[in-house]
Chain A
């Protein structure tokens, strides 16, 4: 089992560029999440999904969009990147509700110049 994988691991963007981060899990989990982690701050939830074809906003959704077309994949998109989106992005999945153990991916370090 690979668990939760994320691509890419690193990316540098210029302001205004767009990109998509891919998250994949092979544990047949229903719930998937996208977080961002900034220095001195806890993990903050961007968007999440409770199943294939569903998405919902988290704590900091502005500037991001997501899609869950397949149960095992959860995509995070930045349509017009801003320097404030420089962060480390983590994807996670859980069998059912957020209270179940969340399994995290290795993270994507994004820098927006």
Chain B
């Protein structure tokens, strides 16, 4: 069973609309949770990082939330732009070990 599950697998939205991507995890405890953005043909780039005790973290139009009780994280994108088209990857750092990657959500923003 995957320790980090992301949903939906893919998503298409119109430019200017908001969207929310989900990350459910079973890893516990963990040191931090990151969201990475991966543009087509490029390597992933870190968007946000939250420690186990944080609830929310923003980076411009990107806001990540963390609910440790339900073991869920979400990435909310406000007023989407064409440049937001990418894969978004949820990554957990289990304390003292390597990273655990989700399979990602592919977002397409159309005009």
Task: Give the residues in chain B near A111, CB-CB below 8 Å.
Answer: none
A101 x B41 contact (CB < 8 A): no
A4 located at the interface, meaning its Cβ lies under 8 Å from any Cβ of chain B in the complex: yes
Q: Which residues from A are CB-within-8-Å of B32?
A: 99
**Looking across the interface, which residue of chain B has its beta carbon closest to that of A35?**
B101
What is the bound-complex CA distance between A20 and B99, given in angstroms?
A: 25
Question: Which stretch, B43-51, B55-63, B65-73, touches the partner chain A?
Answer: B43-51
Tell me the minimal C-beta distance from A97 to chain B in angstroms: 8
Per the CB 8 Å criterion, the residue count for chain A at the interface is 20
Cβ contacts under 8 Å, A99 to chain B: 31-32, 93, 99
Q: Assuming A58-B98, A90-B43, A98-B98, is B31 touching A43 (CB within 8 A)? A: no
Among candidates A4, A42, A92, residue contacting B103 with C-beta atoms closer than 8 Å? A42
Give the dominant DSSP class at A's interface: loop
CB <8 Å contact, B98 and A106? no
**Chain B residues near A101 (CB-CB < 8 A):** 34, 46, 49
Write the nearest CB–CB distance from A31 to chain B, whole angstroms.
Answer: 10
Contact yes or no, A104 B44, CB < 8 A? yes
Asked if residues A45 and B98 are in contact (CB atoms below 8 Å), the reply is yes
Does residue A48 face the partner (Cβ distance < 8 Å to B)?
yes
Nearest chain-B residue to A91 (Cβ)?
A: B43
6 nearest A-B pairs in the assembled complex, by CB-CB distance: A104-B43, A42-B101, A99-B93, A42-B103, A43-B101, A101-B46
Could you list which residues of chain A lie within 8 angstroms of chain B, going by C-beta atoms?
A: 4, 40-45, 48, 58-59, 90, 92, 98-99, 101-102, 104-107
Query: Can you list 12 pairs linking A and B with CB atoms under 8 Å apart?
Result: A41-B103, A42-B89, A43-B44, A90-B43, A98-B97, A99-B99, A102-B44, A102-B46, A102-B99, A105-B43, A106-B41, A107-B43
